[in-house]
Structure 1
Amino acid sequence: MPKQPLAEVFGFPPDNLSPEAERYRRNRLCPYNNKVPSCTKDKANDPLGVCSVFEGNEIAITCPIRFRQDWLIAEDAASFFFPENTTWTSLTEIRLNDKNGLSAGNIDVVLVAYNDRGRIIDFGALEIQAVYISGNVRQPFEYYMEDPNNRSNMDWTGQKNYPRPDYLSSSRKRLAPQLIYKGGILKTWNKKQAVALHKGFFNRLPTLPEVDKTEADIAWLIYDLKHNPDTNSYHLSRSRTVYTQFYPALERITIPETGAIEDFIGHLQSKLDERLDNPPDAPTLLDIL
């Protein structure tokens, strides 16, 4: 467990005390193409400016906006969606409705290809999957922000609710519903999808059945954060791309691997044995009278 749980605060490592890093912290700015210059995570007037946290020797990206650095994700998704030399642009937070006009949610980024008259000729959907946190990340963040110069290497290991990435909740409560609802509509339309996530998140998913790029419905864009010691900052870098078809990937993520039924029956038997060996106390007629 790292002593300091915070990997990046308002875009910089906590021990980066350069004038630029101090400016971003002081003004609560986001360097990663947020919809406004300021960080708006959690609360717009009191933002939780944690971009990523440590997990052992790895880093887990906890803010989806963090993936927008240099718009690398858009470039990588476009290379999957469209042929080379296609003219395209990106639109963010686009609502997707079902047949009845009910919202299936917002698509994080829609890449649209258009012709020389400005008419859309194709599009693809890019979802960004950061990781949920278990524990409390605001407490160490606020403690650090009170005195960054002296708390950049703070030891938070003895505190309650030490923040950790919650990959299980992130996949079951976020990723799987995204694929089922929004992804199902896009698949029906035969539109390609891309999912951007960091390496630690992808490595904790079940092994997905891969196919050739030409046969794929989904491109899993897997990124890592590389530290630059000269600037003491992290840079988003694509680790690899995994291509899958929609339904096999969805099934692998949403249906758990089945254990042995004998183990479950054994668990039931032990519970039954406890019940039979320790029958509940029931009042007798004499007790009632």
Structure 2
Amino acid sequence: MANQPIAELFGFPPDSETERATRYRTNRLCPYNNKVPSCTKDSVTDPLGVCTIFHGEKLAVICPVRLRQDWIIAEQAAAFFFPPKANWTTLVEVRLKDKQGKSAGNIDVVLVAYDDEGRITDFGSLEVQTVYISGTLRKTFFKPLMDDRTAYFATDWAKSRKKNPGPDYLSSSRKRLAPQLIFKGGILKAWKRKQAVAVHSAFYDTLPKLPEVAQEKADLAWLIYDLVWDGHDKKYNLKHTRTVYTEFKTALDKITISEPGPMEDFVAALQIKLDAKLEGATLAQLADTSADIPADEPDLLDQLENL
């Protein structure tokens, strides 16, 4: 099992033969509060039912619905948004529009507080962020597993030369999380509504260190979770690890603005390129000027390779 990438399939370990795991796998159901009973990851008719993959000795949650287990995330977001004993509920996939009426995207979960007559008194947004993967999962692993479980588990995946897919945390934070915070979060911030983001701890650990504030000063809470093995149920269960309270603007700046390295290194890299060009180097030769860099300057080499 350790040499193949699938950690959870339709909510259960892929080798689980329990009656419940078999029923969910056979009917392609989702046990984690999807908007419909079936799994709809990537496709309604042919869902990619992989919730979580192995990444070395760790896990990487790749489906946002996985973090909805028992609606723990909603309960903890409500504790941040609303006073104790408030009446509240969840509304999922709520369209948000900007001043011009254009869509800023769907909010994963909107929590609304309401009075005894059912009128909304407050609301907050909850985004659920998991990681994209690089590499092929469906064709190389998921389909063979669903087609022939016996053959799949008999395969020595370490010798198969099939490359396991892996999490792409950088793309996930810059191409998904950051735009969500900018477009949707910016509107909610202007409305002075609190926000929360639910993430797997492995994802959060790849973000820059966010400046923390006291809960009463925060307008953005990071709800951080892990999957913990339950030996009795023979499956992973969601567990809240910690909550990080931040201010929206400072957290957004930290995520979206790259910390600069030494400018001197960049100028040195430019000088090497310029010297080569002035000496008549071709474009191909200019691309290979990294050969002129001494071996004790790895940071400069890295920058040249990206020019």
**Does the pair score TM above 0.5?**
yes
Runs (5+) with no aligned partner, structure 2 = 284-307
Shift of 1:20: 1.6
**Deviations 1:182-237 (CA, angstroms, capped at 9, x unpaired):** 00000000000000000000000000000000000101000000011222101011
**Deviations 1:242-287 (CA, angstroms, capped at 9, x unpaired):** 0000000000000011100011112212222332344349xxxxxx
Kindly tell me: are residues 87 and 145 of structure 1, through their superposed partners in 2, closer, same or farther at Cα, counting changes over 3 Å? same
Query: Whole-Å Cα distance in 2 between the matches of residues 264 and 141 of structure 1?
Result: 44
Counterpart in 1 of 2:58?
58
1:91 matched to 2:125? The reply is no
Query: Whole-Å Cα distance in 2 between the matches of residues 4 and 225 of structure 1?
Result: 18
Query: Whole-Å Cα distance in 1 between the matches of residues 58 and 185 of structure 2?
Result: 29
**Deviations 1:129-157 (CA, angstroms, capped at 9, x unpaired):** 01000111112111111222453475445
CA contact (8 A) 1:3 1:153 kept: no
% of aligned pairs identical? 60
Query: Whole-Å Cα distance in 1 between the matches of residues 213 and 133 of structure 2?
Result: 32
Give the AA of the match of 1:243: Y
From 216, 223, 226, the equivalent of 1:224 is 226
1:144 matched to 2:145? The reply is yes
Counterpart in 1 of 2:207?
205
Q: Structure 1 residues 14-23 or 231-240, which shifts more?
A: 14-23
**Deviations 1:81-128 (CA, angstroms, capped at 9, x unpaired):** 000000000000000000010000000000000000000000000000
Kindly tell me: are residues 103 and 66 of structure 1, through their superposed partners in 2, closer, same or farther at Cα, counting changes over 3 Å? same
Counterpart in 1 of 2:277?
275
* Corresponding residue pairs, total: 281
RMSD, aligned α-carbons:
1.7
CA contact (8 A) 2:229 2:235 kept: yes
Kindly tell me: are residues 105 and 155 of structure 1, through their superposed partners in 2, closer, same or farther at Cα, counting changes over 3 Å? farther
Query: Whole-Å Cα distance in 1 between the matches of residues 170 and 79 of structure 2?
Result: 30
CA contact (8 A) 1:2 1:55 kept: no
Shift of 1:171: 0.2
* TM-score, scaled relative to structure 1: 0.93
Give the AA of the match of 1:86: A
Query: Whole-Å Cα distance in 1 between the matches of residues 76 and 86 of structure 2?
Result: 13
* TM-score, scaled relative to structure 2: 0.88
Kindly tell me: are residues 21 and 84 of structure 1, through their superposed partners in 2, closer, same or farther at Cα, counting changes over 3 Å? same
Give the AA of the match of 1:113: A
Query: Whole-Å Cα distance in 2 between the matches of residues 51 and 148 of structure 1?
Result: 18
Kindly tell me: are residues 262 and 93 of structure 1, through their superposed partners in 2, closer, same or farther at Cα, counting changes over 3 Å? same
Give the AA of the match of 1:73: I
Counterpart in 2 of 1:163?
165
What does residue range 56-205 of structure 1 map to in structure 2 within 5 Å?
Answer: 56-138=56-138, 139-152=140-153, 154-157=155-158, 158-205=160-207
Give the AA of the match of 1:192: K
Which aligned runs of 4 or more in structure 1 are off by greater than 6 angstroms? none
CA contact (8 A) 2:4 2:164 kept: no
Q: Structure 1 residues 152-161 or 13-22, which shifts more?
A: 152-161
**What SS is found at the alignment partner of 1:253?**
helix
**What SS is found at the alignment partner of 2:211?**
coil
CA contact (8 A) 1:220 1:242 kept: yes
Counterpart in 2 of 1:11?
11
**What SS is found at the alignment partner of 2:105?**
strand
CA contact (8 A) 2:126 2:198 kept: yes
Query: Whole-Å Cα distance in 1 between the matches of residues 94 and 207 of structure 2?
Result: 27
Give the AA of the match of 2:117: R
**Deviations 1:28-52 (CA, angstroms, capped at 9, x unpaired):** 1111111111111101111100001
Q: Structure 1 residues 151-160 or 216-225, which shifts more?
A: 151-160
